[in-house]
Homo-oligomer: A and B are copies of this chain.
């Protein structure tokens, strides 16, 4: 490993730095990038995991393209944040076991959720327990590194990015999510088919993004100077009934089976509303009444919330990480599809980078009020993060998307202000919950709050 001290490095604080998913992906991307000199401070409430990742990070950096990197683990969040240039937040609010109850309890009332981390009863309660955590992190950032750029990777994305800004309005934060990439892959495939050659990757597809996280839409998809939106809509209509995948499902791949996606929800929404839906089917399905897709998930070719799979996956990842930590050889390094390294480089003075991110609305999405967290394109450069004005959703669709965004905003405020009695009426308004009617919904809410009470602030423990 090269001598770190000689170089001007970028101090990155990673909150949730013991993570087996995002953190290791970022380590690999940095190592492969070959331009960034990084001082990576890993903080995790599981300090041992942060230490393990620090060891792992050093090995990955050595295997990379030669830029020096420093990896340290920290027991106090302040030590990680102090003077940081960039903060990455990727935590699991609660445990997978808590998340299992986010799914299982609504199921008893007939509410089937495919993910349960964004909206619906699961997303709501998950927000209730994670908003106070993010609020605390935002306070620490204000105290330790108020000028740092802050990338939030944690779900529920809109609510938590909103929390950062609610607590510290001057924060330079954005919410990062890769779901739109799925649409860009399809469009690249279509463009290649049209060109008769493999000319384009998803990176060549520039989309205009409108909406909110996991319920995102695209009204332009330019490849090689040409807008492919109409091609996509035609394709969607053609394959609406049958579905379509670029590659067949591998029946032996449990992940593929669990996260099954035949794009049928995407295609159906596109056909109904004349605009491309840009997220995985499992996410999209949760924003509309469950009669549309969730109740018919097999027909629509997508899988439901495999929390047990996630638990097995977690255990498997832990096993692999332990082996690596014990000296097993590193797998070959690869570059992920994430935009985070490109964004950091742009902010640090490199080539500007345009991508979709979650930010409080400053006018970038017409029809939505100022301050509501929306997902549109933004431009990252040495001058900062500037959202691009992205236009407006078709009105009928806006009427479905906007109440979700406004509910998330209201939820963040109610949690931060400890307004316990205002929570249930918001919960009741979610389109997955509303059909239960007020009485059953109240029962369900009580049970869900009880199940996650250990993670709730005192004022909200009896919200149910």
Interface set of A (CB-CB < 8 Å, partner B)? 206, 208, 220, 222, 224-227, 268, 272-274, 288-289, 291-292, 348-350, 352, 354, 362-364, 366, 377, 379, 381-384, 386-390, 394-400, 402-403, 406-407, 410, 413-414, 421-422, 425-426, 428-429, 431, 434-438
Partner of A291, one of B377, B386, B422, B437: B437
Residue of B nearest to A396 (CB): B425
Pairs A-B, 8 closest by C-beta atoms: A363-B363, A225-B349, A396-B425, A395-B410, A222-B382, A386-B388, A225-B382, A220-B383
Which residues of the partner chain B approach A388 to less than 8 Å between Cβ atoms? Answer: 379, 386-389
Given A366-B362, A386-B390, are A350 and B225 also a contact pair (CB < 8 Å)? yes
Given A291-B435, A410-B395, A434-B289, are A226 and B349 also a contact pair (CB < 8 Å)? yes
Partner of A422, one of B222, B389, B394: B394
Most buried by B among A381, A384, A386, A407: A386
Which residues of the partner chain B approach A431 to less than 8 Å between Cβ atoms? Answer: 434
Q: How many copies does the complex hold?
A: 4
Alpha-carbon distance between A438 and B422 when the two chains are bound, in angstroms: 32
Which residues of the partner chain B approach A208 to less than 8 Å between Cβ atoms? Answer: 383, 386
Asked if residues A382 and B206 are in contact (CB atoms below 8 Å), the reply is yes
Partner of A435, one of B289, B398, B425: B289
Residue of B nearest to A398 (CB): B406
Alpha-carbon distance between A384 and B352 when the two chains are bound, in angstroms: 18
Alpha-carbon distance between A263 and B9 when the two chains are bound, in angstroms: 38
Which residues of the partner chain B approach A406 to less than 8 Å between Cβ atoms? Answer: 395, 398-399, 402
Asked if residues B381 and A379 are in contact (CB atoms below 8 Å), the reply is no
Which residues of the partner chain B approach A421 to less than 8 Å between Cβ atoms? Answer: 274
Which residues of the partner chain B approach A366 to less than 8 Å between Cβ atoms? Answer: 362-363
Partner of A438, one of B272, B363, B379, B382: B272
Residue of B nearest to A431 (CB): B434
Partner of A395, one of B268, B352, B384, B422: B422
Which residues of the partner chain B approach A224 to less than 8 Å between Cβ atoms? Answer: 349
Asked if residues B206 and A383 are in contact (CB atoms below 8 Å), the reply is yes
Alpha-carbon distance between A377 and B208 when the two chains are bound, in angstroms: 17
Alpha-carbon distance between A384 and B229 when the two chains are bound, in angstroms: 14
Given A349-B224, A363-B363, A400-B429, are A438 and B394 also a contact pair (CB < 8 Å)? no
Which residues of the partner chain B approach A268 to less than 8 Å between Cβ atoms? Answer: 438
Alpha-carbon distance between A437 and B431 when the two chains are bound, in angstroms: 13
Which residues of the partner chain B approach A387 to less than 8 Å between Cβ atoms? Answer: 388-389
Which residues of the partner chain B approach A396 to less than 8 Å between Cβ atoms? Answer: 410, 422, 425-426, 428-429
Alpha-carbon distance between A350 and B206 when the two chains are bound, in angstroms: 12
Given A364-B363, A435-B435, are A384 and B225 also a contact pair (CB < 8 Å)? no
Alpha-carbon distance between A429 and B114 when the two chains are bound, in angstroms: 22
Residue of B nearest to A224 (CB): B349
Asked if residues A289 and B349 are in contact (CB atoms below 8 Å), the reply is no
Partner of A381, one of B206, B384, B434: B206
Asked if residues B383 and A397 are in contact (CB atoms below 8 Å), the reply is no
Q: What's the minimum C-beta distance from A344 to chain B, rounded to whole angstroms?
A: 12
Q: What's the minimum C-beta distance from A38 to chain B, rounded to whole angstroms?
A: 16
Asked if residues B206 and A438 are in contact (CB atoms below 8 Å), the reply is no
Residue of B nearest to A395 (CB): B410
- Could you list 27 A-B pairs, sorted by A, with CB under 8 Å? A206-B382, A222-B349, A222-B382, A222-B383, A272-B438, A273-B425, A291-B435, A291-B436, A292-B437, A362-B389, A363-B363, A363-B364, A363-B366, A364-B389, A386-B388, A386-B389, A388-B389, A389-B389, A395-B410, A396-B425, A396-B426, A397-B425, A398-B406, A399-B403, A399-B429, A400-B429, A402-B406
Given A354-B352, A363-B363, are A410 and B399 also a contact pair (CB < 8 Å)? yes
Asked if residues A379 and B354 are in contact (CB atoms below 8 Å), the reply is yes
Asked if residues B434 and A288 are in contact (CB atoms below 8 Å), the reply is yes
Which residues of the partner chain B approach A437 to less than 8 Å between Cβ atoms? Answer: 289, 291-292
Which residues of the partner chain B approach A292 to less than 8 Å between Cβ atoms? Answer: 434, 437-438
Alpha-carbon distance between A419 and B422 when the two chains are bound, in angstroms: 37
Alpha-carbon distance between A383 and B229 when the two chains are bound, in angstroms: 11
Residue of B nearest to A386 (CB): B388
Which residues of the partner chain B approach A390 to less than 8 Å between Cβ atoms? Answer: 386
